[in-house]
Amino acid sequence: YGMFHLVTWAMVRAFGSVWVKPALITGIFIAIAFVLVLPLVEKGIIKLTNRYLYASIYNSQKTLRSLTRKLTRIVDVLKISSLITETVHEVLDIESVRIFAQNSTNHCYHLVHSVGFESKKNVSCDLEECFFTRWVRHFKKAVVKDELQFMAMEHRHRDKGAEKFIKIQKYMEKIGGEVCIPFVVKRELIGFLLLGAKISRDAYTKEDIELLETLGNQTAIALENALLYENMEQSVEDQTKEIKAKNVYLEKLLAMRGQFLDIASHQLRTPISVIKGYVSMLREGDYDSQTPAEKDEVYRSIAEKTEKLSHIVRDILYASELDTGEFTLKEQDIARFPIIPYVSKIVSMHQDEARVKNISLTFSAPGDALLVRASERYMEVVFDNLITNALHYTPRDGKIVVRVKPFQDVVRVEVEDTGVGIPKEDQPGLFEKFKRGANANSMYTDGSGLGLFITKELMDGHPNGKVGFTSELNKGTTFWVEMERAL
């Protein structure tokens, strides 16, 4: 109105009247210019007004728009969550802000980052899948607590229509939320932003909600990218760990292979060399002039070395069979048999070897008949290993006692010797492959380090089977095994 009077006054001064022809033509051009310029002037006035009279609104929108651009450059879930919560909390002057992300394992929404929620006693750290999260997923838009009351009134005539809005409103009050901004990707709710009340107690404006929804869309994309990146990193890390573990295992296998070849080649070479030497001498007639007793000694040595080769091959085959760590006995392999005569027979088989070293090898057992549930085939290997070890590592004129001890549920067989004993530092891992005491080579150089490994694996495969030992350096060792007692 003021502009109209100003133009009229100017035209009267210039042309003497507004109705003259020059004034009318000028008026047409002024009108066209006014129509073109007015929107630009109006826009500038509004911008200046928003900047200086509503500075907080202008700055908030500017900051949040800048935030959406930053999100595209971050691929860390925690950093994204921290940036969003702290920026929104500061810019909109909100009491409390929380961000939740879905846990792919249990579909629970766990708290990733929060600001200002420490004083909320009734707020849990995680939100399980419930009617609230299902509603947010279905609604796919900002949920404003104050609007739920009006929505309930609009749906009051529908069957239970108002109840769900009241229920959501009460739940938001319980968890301390005024506004919930969902993060939806491909129709899936991957998380949400939960905002408390403004410190000023002002209501959230339409512009606030629209801006927060835009932020929510950008956050959803950023979170999805971050989660994909995180999963990829975890997958790479897991594969790297697996490769490293396999490398360690392969290195261990290679070391064991080298150790095995060293021991096996030494053990095989020695008896083979002896047998080869004796056979060559016999063929060349070197023993033709010898007495029968001397010839018998040669034959005995050949038989002894052949038996040793047989034991070495047996140990290698057993170790190969047991190397998987999954050895178990089948029910048909297990039998009920009297243990006392069984062990007594095995002890008798070693008496000749004991007499050669003048070792006292005795057997002690109670008078009662004792039955066990075990494999006769494999228990012979176990007792043979334990008694043979005792003979190898007990000096001349020593003593070895094999005892049978019954208990309520098991029967224990002990092999006690007065040998060199096992150093304490060598006792851990003694049942591992190729493990031998540091002092073992001084007594018996041909040990393979497989006997106790085989014994342990065989006993572990038995029902209630156990093996153990006690030892004192330079005083002796007692190895024991336990089998299930058959009642």
The tens digit of pLDDT for each residue in 227-248 reads 788 778 878 888 888 888 888 8
- Give which of 146, 229, 134 is closest to 184, Cα–Cα: 134
Phi and psi, residue 54, nearest 5°: -125, 55
Phi and psi, residue 358, nearest 5°: 55, 40
- Give which of 370, 407, 392 is closest to 439, Cα–Cα: 392
Pair 126, 192: CB distance under 8 Å = no
Instruction: For residue 128, give the 3-state DSSP assignment.
Output: coil
Average pLDDT (288-310) is 81
Distances (CA, A) of 303 to 275, 296, 300, 310: 9, 10, 5, 10
Question: Which stretch of 168-172, 214-218, 304-308, 456-460 has the lowest confidence by average pLDDT?
Answer: 304-308
Which option is the CATH number for 326-485: 3.30.930.10, 3.40.50.970, 3.30.565.10, 3.30.70.1400?
A: 3.30.565.10
In this predicted model, what pLDDT tens digit does every residue of 424-434 receive, in sequence order? 888 888 888 76
Q: What is the pLDDT of residue 323?
A: 67
The Cα–Cα gap between 437 and 184 comes to 65
What pTM was computed for the model?
0.46
Instruction: With a cut of 50, say whether residue 58 has pLDDT above it.
Output: no
Distances (CA, A) of 134 to 126, 139, 223: 15, 8, 20
Q: What is the pLDDT of residue 448?
A: 63
Pair 416, 400: CB distance under 8 Å = yes
- Percent of the chain residues past pLDDT 90, beyond the cut: 18
Alpha carbon 468 to its chain's center: 32
Q: What is the pLDDT of residue 371?
A: 94
Average pLDDT (300-307) is 81
Q: What is the pLDDT of residue 259?
A: 61
Which class in CATH covers the domain with range 77-232? Answer: alpha beta
In this predicted model, what pLDDT tens digit does every residue of 256-294 receive, in sequence order? 666 666 656 656 676 777 788 888 888 888 878 888 888
Pair 203, 146: CB distance under 8 Å = yes
Pair of tokens at residue 89? 């909390």
- The edge-to-edge listing of strands for the beta sheet with 179-185 is 126-127, 109-115, 97-102, 188-195, 179-185, 143-144
Pair 457, 322: CB distance under 8 Å = yes
Pair 112, 193: CB distance under 8 Å = no
In this predicted model, what pLDDT tens digit does every residue of 120-148 receive, in sequence order? 444 444 555 577 877 887 778 888 888 88
For all residues of the chain together, what is the average pLDDT?
Answer: 80
Instruction: With a cut of 60, say whether residue 118 has pLDDT above it.
Output: no
The residue assigned the tokens 């075990």 is 374
More confident call, 471 vs 55 = 471
Instruction: With a cut of 50, say whether residue 52 has pLDDT above it.
Output: no
The Cα–Cα gap between 13 and 20 comes to 12
Q: What is the pLDDT of residue 242?
A: 87
Neighbours of 261 (CB within 10 A): 10
